[in-house]
């Protein structure tokens, strides 16, 4: 197949073993990172070498990183940003040295993603991540102690408040300016070492608690790609993140950016948008959610997409426990579903 099927692995502490991942039909690449080093610190080469070897021992390739986190001080453009950018570039060089071809990251202030519940039970007994506005409304992080699932628990409430007000002052244009500074420094380094940088959209793609969000819609993705017009400056097109805002036409976005060869990585997951704009993560199948996976895969195949694809979050099914969204079973079902769609579409369009 043209596309490169991949699976996220959280390292040795991940309850899902590389051996199990290697047993999924068609599985090629492992998406991982050095998770025990803080943002802003250099990744030890021994750790990268170890992942590479562990993957190879299981007949898998470690060639995609998710993610090298961007330090808040880079996003805020603070005094130490230049030093931190230097570290960031060094990490890109080190990843390249151990065979990495694609690096995912995001430019979201403070929180990587926001959900209100991680184990919402569906009628069939499976559980998944959800974002319900009626659980969200009335929460004010500047006044209340909030512990939403998935938020970095290493911050104290006081630190969260300080960060939120710093981003409030920075605003969207300030964040754009700091993103431009990041790209101007990082993309030439990535180009030099043969890595495609793939920005992950904001999840969800609209403001939460007044924090600025910029990687959210077509207009902003266009603006982002123009800052540095190079394939090394590409997208991690997460259909579930962009697709949980009804205003985003994800199918049209995939078409536009696949044609332009600006998608390095596809995150495939389905969400069901509810009437009030809340959303539930669902099984990958098109009929389970609001996103037409087959249409998206056909577009990719038509455009000879040869980048990375991974089944994004899965539900917890068959009694599995572990990291919410990152169990083995439902993501493996997602992978085989995607294999089927891609085989059909690639045979149809690449005769």
**Within 13 Å of residue 134, how many CA atoms lie on the same side as its CB?**
3
Is 28 a binder of Mn ion (CB under 5 A)? no
Tokens encoding 64: 């995609």
Least distance to Mn ion from the beta carbon of 313, Å? Answer: 7
Q: What is the CA radius of gyration of the chain?
A: 19
The residue (of 73 and 330) whose beta carbon lies closer to Mn ion is 330
What is the Cα–Cα distance from 5 to 28, expressed in whole angstroms?
5
The residue (of 14 and 203) whose beta carbon lies closer to Mn ion is 203
Least distance to Mn ion from the beta carbon of 236, Å? Answer: 7
| Positions 297 through 326 that interact with Mn ion (CB under 5 A) | 312
Least distance to Mn ion from the beta carbon of 162, Å? Answer: 28
The residue (of 281 and 312) whose beta carbon lies closer to Mn ion is 312
The residue (of 73 and 203) whose beta carbon lies closer to Mn ion is 203
The residue (of 170 and 297) whose beta carbon lies closer to Mn ion is 297
The residue (of 63 and 203) whose beta carbon lies closer to Mn ion is 203
Is 232 a binder of Mn ion (CB under 5 A)? no
The H or E element containing residue 104 is strand 102-106
The residue (of 51 and 238) whose beta carbon lies closer to Mn ion is 238
- Buried b / exposed e along 42-53 (16+ C-beta atoms within 10 A): ebeeebbebbbe
> Hey, CA dihedral for 85, 167, 107, 127, is it positive or negative?
positive
- Buried b / exposed e along 283-317 (16+ C-beta atoms within 10 A): bbebebbbbbbebbbbbbbbbebebbbbbbbbbbb
Backbone angles phi, psi at 122, to 5 degrees: -85, 165
Least distance to Mn ion from the beta carbon of 349, Å? Answer: 25
CB under 5 A: which stretch of 48-56, 126-134, 235-243, 299-307 binds Mn ion? 235-243
Least distance to Mn ion from the beta carbon of 241, Å? Answer: 5
| DSSP secondary structure, 255-315, as one string | HHHHHTT-EEEEEE-EEEE-TTS-EEEE-SSGGGSS--HHHHHHHHHHTT--SEEEE----
Is 238 a binder of Mn ion (CB under 5 A)? yes
CB 103 within 8 Å of CB 298: no
What is the Cα–Cα distance from 217 to 203, expressed in whole angstroms?
11
Backbone angles phi, psi at 124, to 5 degrees: -85, 5
Is 296 a binder of Mn ion (CB under 5 A)? no
Is 267 a binder of Mn ion (CB under 5 A)? yes
Is 239 a binder of Mn ion (CB under 5 A)? no
Least distance to Mn ion from the beta carbon of 210, Å? Answer: 23
CB-nearest residue to Mn ion: 238
What is the Cα–Cα distance from 255 to 298, expressed in whole angstroms?
10
The residue (of 94 and 313) whose beta carbon lies closer to Mn ion is 313
Is 85 a binder of Mn ion (CB under 5 A)? no
Tell me the site size for Mn ion, rule CB under 5 A. Answer: 3
**Sites of contact with Mn ion (CB under 5 A):** 238, 267, 312
């Amino acid at each position: 197949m043209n596309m490169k099927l991949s699976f996220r692995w959280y390292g040795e502490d991940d309850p899902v073993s590389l051996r199990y991942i290697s047993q999924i039909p068609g599985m090629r690449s492992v998406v991982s990172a050095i998770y025990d080093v803080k943002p802003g610190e250099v990744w030890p080469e021994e750790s990268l070498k170890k992942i590479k070897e562990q993957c190879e021992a299981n007949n898998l390739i470690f060639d995609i990183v998710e993610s090298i986190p961007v330090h808040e001080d880079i996003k805020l453009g603070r005094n130490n940003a230049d030093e931190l950018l230097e570290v960031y570039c060094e990490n890109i060089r080190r990843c390249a040295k151990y065979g990495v071809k694609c690096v995912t990251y995001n430019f979201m202030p403070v929180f990587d993603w926001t959900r209100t519940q991680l184990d919402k039970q569906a009628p069939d007994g499976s559980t998944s991540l959800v974002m319900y506005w009626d659980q969200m409304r009335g929460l004010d992080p500047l006044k209340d102690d909030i512990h939403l699932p998935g938020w970095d628990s290493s911050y104290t409430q006081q630190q969260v408040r300080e960060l939120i007000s710093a981003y409030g002052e920075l605003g969207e244009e300030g964040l754009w300016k700091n993103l431009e500074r990041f790209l101007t420094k990082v993309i030439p380094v990535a180009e030099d070492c043969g890595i495609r940088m793939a920005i992950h959209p904001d999840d969800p793609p609209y403001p939460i608690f007044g924090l600025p969000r910029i990687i959210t819609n077509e207009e902003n993705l266009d603006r982002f790609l123009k800052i540095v017009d190079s394939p090394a400056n590409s997208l991690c097109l997460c259909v579930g993140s962009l697709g949980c805002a009804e205003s985003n036409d994800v199918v049209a976005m995939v078409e536009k950016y696949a044609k332009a060869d600006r998608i390095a990585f596809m995150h495939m997951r389905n969400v069901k948008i509810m009437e009030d704009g809340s959303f539930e993560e669902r099984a990958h199948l098109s009929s389970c959610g609001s996103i037409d996976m087959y249409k998206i895969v056909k577009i990719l195949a038509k455009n000879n997409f040869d980048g990375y694809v991974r089944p994004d979050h899965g539900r917890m099914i068959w009694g599995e426990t572990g990291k919410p969204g990152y169990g083995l079973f439902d993501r493996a079902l997602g992978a085989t579903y995607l294999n089927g769609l891609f085989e059909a579409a690639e045979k149809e369009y690449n005769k």
